[in-house]
Chains A and B, each alone.
Chain A
Amino acid sequence: MTRLNKPTRRDFMRTAAAGAGAAAFSSVFPAISADADDAILVGGLHDLSGFIDFAGIPMNQIMLMAIEEINAQGGLLGREVKGVVYDPQSNMSLYSQYATQLALKDKVAVVMGGITSASRETIRPIFHRFKTLYFYNTLYEGGVCDRNEITLGTTPAQTVEQLVPHTMNLWGKKVYTIAADYNYGQITAAWVKRYVEQNGGEVLSTDFFPLDVTNFGPTISKIQEAKPDMVMSVLVGTGHLGFYNQWAAGGMKDEIPIASTTFGAAGAEIEIIAPEVANGIITSYGYYPQIDTPLNNAWVESVKKRYPDDTPFLTELSAFTWEGMMIWADAVRTAGSLDRMALIEVMESGKEYEFPSGKVTIDRKTHHAIRDVYVADLQDKQFVIKEKFSQVQPADTQTVCDLEKDPNANKHYEISLN
């Protein structure tokens, strides 16, 4: 590794992250050891550049903010907490390289990160093998079975289960699904079909789109021919954004309403698509910044105060990264050690956490979050929360995974409904 002597971007990021943390705590709690070698290291692996940096940068900002908060409360076990941040640039070989580095060279106590399922399945087995505790904080298609991973994002069984009956009650029973053509889209579309049928409705058609499709003309014509009561969009990525403009352009927006499992999930769509096009799209996620509880309002304020100029998008992804840090910190305090198994036992013991998103418990069988789920309507770039569902189970992953029976599981199941 001859490159080690050269100052690189990642060294800079690491120094900057550490500097921010150290500055925050040392002024308040000068009593904690300031010896850098003694610090507890937290690894961060989020895409800070590349096509999905709009998702990764907020997650990283919130992770660093959580570290500052933990240090401001006196650190953990009398030691300072420090972030070790790498930018895998949406590049899977960098993901595996940095994951190995975090586990073996930096010897971090815990890692937050991975955004796409591809990146998670690149790094999850590495952390499993090297026994490094890992938090995945992104909504995804479900099915991860690994005792070393805590999965905080929602899965289709949690959100689609709420979204489908809510929108069917509003709009009617005939649904037309349009979905991205890869595993998230395929699996989520299958859940949509199941819940529509369970609620006495019918999926007229499910169309899949490769991620590079930008022209939706033929599909829009076919949807008009099928005359559904609503469209369920499981579209993903910036190529598919054109659908919403093309849909509104012909006047369809006022004819057939849209529900989506993806729109605004990471925040970007809400900024890119003009409000006159996006207003009225109904979504379901585990977190919205508009959740009106004292805890959440205070948290949103604290984020704005910490990042007044570059306020990160507050979505499931960033909010659950903060939850991940707090769950981990709480486990360290409770266990009084950094021992991985001791921490896992605390976290899977059924503790209830009160968070900005609501009440959260880690499901012992799957290590996924049991959490409150919301349905909200988008109006002028703000979500209006319509319904709240308490303590929703990750029912999809529960059908394939039981970590009590098989604690050594190390697998991502493709949940098949067909």
Chain B
Amino acid sequence: MDFALIVLIELLRAVAGLVLIAAGLAIIFGMMRVINIAHGEFLMLGGYTVVLTTKLGVNLWVAILVLAPLFVGVFGIIVERCIIQFLYNRLLDSILATWGLSLLLIGAVTVVFGNTVEGVATPLGGFDIGDYKMASYTLVLIFAAALILAAIYAVLRYTRFGLIARSTMQNPGMAEALGVNSKLVYMATFGIGAALTGLAGGLLAPIAGVVPSMGVYFIGQAFITVVTGGSAIVAGTLSASTMLGTLSQSITFLSGPVFGDAALLLVALILLRLLPQGITGRIFSRSL
């Protein structure tokens, strides 16, 4: 019974992990059709922000929840102004440019901060479920993922900015004819996507090894989740994360992490064969 509860929490945590690393990408790729190969490095920058600022005495939670998204968001806006804005609708060029950016960021962080910066321990300690111990931080991750999805939904659905952003992505010409400054909307959207990625990187910092190359461990799963999810940001991210996360985590419990990894790829492969436009290309196709 206790073990069943542990498994349930771990399944939720696997889903939350995918939601966290994929949410920012879902906005940048799903809405704007920009393939950001440097997505993993945006996560890394979020992690480094937390590790470096807590070393300077900043409160860990301020670093994770405020500084990481703020810094990476601003950085994202600079990247959008300097690189991305020239590459909309140029898919291959944007892959090449952001790949270069990814290498540049890994190199720059290594040169400036070195690749052995002392990390932070996971806060909050643990709690007992019967004979088992569980890290309280796991619940923080699950809660944060739920909150992020809810916030994206609320902004897109109920705010004027959300309406303008959606209309700009659907038909930039018409939006501009109605007086929308589409450049500004693109910039802001990219910045929000980057900020969410920075927040995810910050949240992962206490449970991962923060090194310049850490992005490579996440970028594959992030892209698989977003592509499997399809064009709807919230419904797509949630449905893909749930399906991939629970399946691979269940297999991990049953047969070990090697098979868990393989299962995630296999499920994504089958889903994309059956639903080439992603889950939300066919199902929930009118949702956000």
The chain A residues found within 8 Å of chain B, CB to CB, are 49, 51, 53-54, 181, 207-210, 212-215, 217-219, 221-222, 224-225, 238-242, 245-246, 248-252, 255, 267-268, 271-274, 276-277
Contact = CB atoms under 8 A, between A and B. Distances in A.
Nearest to B51: A272
Interface of B: 3, 6-7, 10, 13-14, 17, 107, 110, 115-122, 124-126, 131-138, 206-211, 213-214, 216-218, 220, 249, 252-253, 256-258, 260-261
19 contacts: A214-B218, A215-B17, A217-B14, A217-B138, A221-B6, A221-B134, A225-B3, A225-B132, A238-B209, A238-B217, A241-B209, A242-B207, A245-B206, A245-B208, A246-B207, A255-B133, A271-B116, A271-B117, A272-B118
B220 A248 contact: no
B47 to A, nearest CB: 11
Nearest to A222: B253
Nearest to B221: A212
Contacts of B217: 212, 214, 238-239
B133 A217 contact: no
B257 A209 contact: yes
B125 A249 contact: yes
Nearest to A50: B213
Contact of A218 (B136, B208, B249, B261): B249
B11 to A, nearest CB: 9
B133 A272 contact: no
A277 B121 contact: yes
A402 B209 CA distance: 41
B14 A215 contact: yes
B258 A208 contact: yes
Contacts of A215: 13-14, 17
B253 A245 contact: no
Nearest to B261: A210
B257 A213 contact: yes
B6 A273 contact: no
Given A210-B257, A245-B121, A248-B122, A221 B7 contact: yes
B119 A245 contact: yes
B115 A218 contact: no
Contacts of A214: 208, 217-218
Contacts of A274: 118-121
Contacts of B3: 221, 225
Which are the 10 A-B pairs with shortest beta-carbon distances?
A241-B209, A249-B122, A249-B135, A250-B126, A271-B116, A251-B126, A250-B135, A250-B133, A242-B208, A238-B211
A215 B248 CA distance: 12
Given A209-B257, A224-B133, A245-B119, A251 B125 contact: yes
A276 B118 CA distance: 11
A218 B6 CA distance: 9
B257 A219 contact: yes
Contact of A272 (B131, B211, B261): B211
A41 to B, nearest CB: 29
B119 A221 contact: no
A186 to B, nearest CB: 11
Nearest to B206: A245
A246 B122 contact: yes
Nearest to A255: B133
A314 to B, nearest CB: 14
Contacts of B132: 221, 224-225
B126 A238 contact: no
Contacts of A268: 115-116
B207 A54 contact: no
A143 to B, nearest CB: 23
Nearest to B131: A224
A248 B207 CA distance: 10
A249 B115 contact: no
